[in-house]
Amino acid sequence: MTRIVSFEVITNSGQVETPPIDRDLGQWHQAVGVARQACARIFRDGGTSADAIRTFGLDAAGATVIDWSRAVTMIAESLCSTRIKRAA
């Protein structure tokens, strides 16, 4: 008996962007969770999405127009990126 597995793709404009294919999905989902939690705390304390981006050391140039979902994506991408070691 052959089983056919199908997936339905549901899109939501408020949803975080999907990661590139080369990313580990487990790591991506963990990073998105951390980013959402951090953004929620910053929002609760009266901060902006630019503040959230700056908190993680990212460039917030022109960040006045970045919405929260984009901020979460940018933060998650930075958490998943490979850090380059600095020479002494």
Report pLDDT for 65. Answer: 64
Q: What is the pTM of this model?
A: 0.69
Report pLDDT for 42. Answer: 94
Convert the pLDDT of each residue in 35-84 to its tens digit.
999 999 999 999 988 899 999 988 877 655 678 888 998 899 888 887 66
Convert the pLDDT of each residue in 21-34 to its tens digit.
666 788 888 999 99
Q: Is the dihedral of CA 8, 10, 11, 15 positive or negative?
A: negative
| Nearest of 85, 80, 88 to residue 35 by alpha carbon | 80
